[in-house]
Amino acid sequence: MEPTPPQRETPRPEAPQPGTPRPEVPRPEVLQPARLGVADTLRTGSAGLRSRPLRVGLAALGIALGVAALVAVLGVSSSSRADLDRQLAALGTNLLTVEPGQTALGGKARLPTESIRMAARIGPVSSVSATGRINAAIYRNDHVDAGNTSAIAVLAAQPGLPVAVGGAMAEGRWLDQGTSKVPAVVLGSRAATKLAIHQAGLRVWLGGQWFGVLGVLEPVPLAPELDNAALVGWGAAETYLGFDGHPTMLYTRSAEPQVEAVRTVLPASVNPQNPYEVRVSRPSDALAAQRATRHTLDRLLLGLGAVALVVGGVGVANTMVISVLERRGEIGLRRALGATRGQIRLQFLTESLLLAALGGLGGVLLGSLATAGYAATQHWPVAIPLVAWLGGLVVTLPIGVVAGIYPAIRAARLTPVSALNTP
């Protein structure tokens, strides 16, 4: 037998001396997923929108209609208020009207014949005029049936009436000191339409005799009762129509800061014996009430616009869910190439936001055009508040987020294998 060779002992590593640093062991390199920049996020998020323009347009239309409704409501409301403010600025808010109320026994009171002069004595009052109702009827000619009065009121009027009520002539001229004593008449705008008279120089049958038409008034917003009236001079009314001289409506203009003070003293001034039988009103308050009524209607329309936005958001969510189902292959390929779940979620959430923003921009444009068109038909100034534009754009962002959350999460949960195996 051959002798067994001696085995060599493997040298043991010497124990490190105290204080000697240990050698560093290299760690395996960990790969970090690439981060998407803003441009890359927008490019990937808009890829689905560019590939399906028809579906994107229909989905964005739902949001656009809701935003357009919001912008149009705010725009039309602001334009209406701008027109009202313009009217008030032109007509003034310092007009007060005085008319008889009721007596203590419930009967119809009367203003004294000297009430016009007594109202003019109030210091802040700058102008006073009046009308008085006449028991007479007016017809286009003397062949019209007596019962066909067209509900036109016949009023005695003073020369200063247009100045007091802010009226203007559409045709012809107003009654002056000379024509106030002759059988001449000025027609309100609606009265002229009912009588089919739109020019001066014609004649009408009034109170059983002929009166010449001196002119036609423009509509009077602060005194709409004049629109459906035939106005005769004060002196002519007493001479030809048996007018008793008692005014039935006084119109006073006062210094703006002291309108309320004048309003307080007017009843006792025009009828010192029975001030409780006098009613004083401010016509501009009725225009302000119209503004409040429009605010109520605006809130209703805003609610309808909000409902349209919700419906549009559902349409966006539906579009995004279908997009996820149709693009599972793309999602699987991106996941296989290293896209993370967060990047997939960000892609579809960005797509939903872009879709909502597209609808918001279209809605703002549609709402602005609708406002401008309606304001033009009403002869209003176009006044769309900035908050309507900004609000129309900002309100779509949460809709896009809410509509895109579920599709984005669903897309991110797909594994590369299951997504690529989808036919």
pLDDT per residue as tens digits for the range 297-328: 566 666 666 676 676 667 677 777 777 767 77
Which of the two residues, 266 and 417, has the higher pLDDT score? 266
Choose among 253, 256, 257: nearest CA to 266.
Answer: 253
Listed residue (114, 128, 143, 240) closest to 183, CA to CA: 240
Q: What is the pLDDT of residue 170?
A: 92
102-106, 224-228, 317-321, 413-417: which has the highest mean pLDDT? Answer: 224-228
| Interval 257-272 mean pLDDT | 87
pLDDT surpassing 50 at residue 295: yes
- Per-residue pLDDT, 219: 92
Q: What's the confidence (pLDDT) of residue 349?
A: 82
Q: Which of 74-88, 219-233, 316-330, 353-367 has the lowest mean pLDDT?
A: 316-330
Residue 374: the pLDDT is 86
What totals of helices (H) and strands (E) does the chain contain, helices first?
Answer: 13, 11
Q: What is the pLDDT of residue 248?
A: 92
pLDDT the model gives residue 303: 67
- Mean pLDDT for all residues in the chain: 80
The predicted pLDDT at position 1 comes to 47
Q: 206 with 230: CB under 8 angstroms?
A: yes
Q: Which residue has the higher pLDDT, 187 or 339?
A: 187
Q: Is residue 240 predicted with pLDDT exceeding 90?
A: yes
pLDDT band at residue 357 under the 50/70/90 scheme = confident
| Distant-in-sequence, close-in-space partners of 57: CB < 8 Å, separation ≥ 6 | none
The reported pLDDT for the residue numbered 405 is 79
Cβ atoms of residues 56 and 318 within 8 Å: no
pLDDT at 80: 77
CA-to-CA distance for 401 and 256, rounded, in angstroms?
Answer: 53
How far apart CA 240 and CA 185 sit, in angstroms, is 12
pLDDT in the model for residue 395: 76
How confident is the model at residue 226, as a pLDDT? 94
pLDDT for 390-408, tens place per residue? 777 777 778 777 777 777 7
pLDDT for res 247: 93
What single letter denotes the amino acid at residue 256? E
pLDDT over 90 percentage in the chain? 21
8 Å CB contact between 315 and 62 = yes
pLDDT at 8 over 80: no
Question: In the predicted model, what is the mean pLDDT of residues 68-93?
Answer: 76
DSSP, residue by residue, 129-143: EEEEE-S--EESSTT
Burial category of 403 from C-beta neighbours within 10 Å (exposed 0-12, middle 13-18, buried 19 and up): buried
124 vs 252: CA distance, rounded Å: 10
Higher pLDDT, 189 or 166: 189
At 28, the pLDDT band (50, 70, 90 cuts) reads low
- The angle formed by the CA atoms of residues 388, 293 and 375, to the nearest 5 degrees, is 50
Among 214, 183, 174, 184, which Cα is nearest to 197's? 214
Query: What DSSP assignment string belongs to 334-380?
Result: HHHTT--HHHHHHHHHHHHHHHHHHHHHHHHHHHHHHHHHHHHHHTP
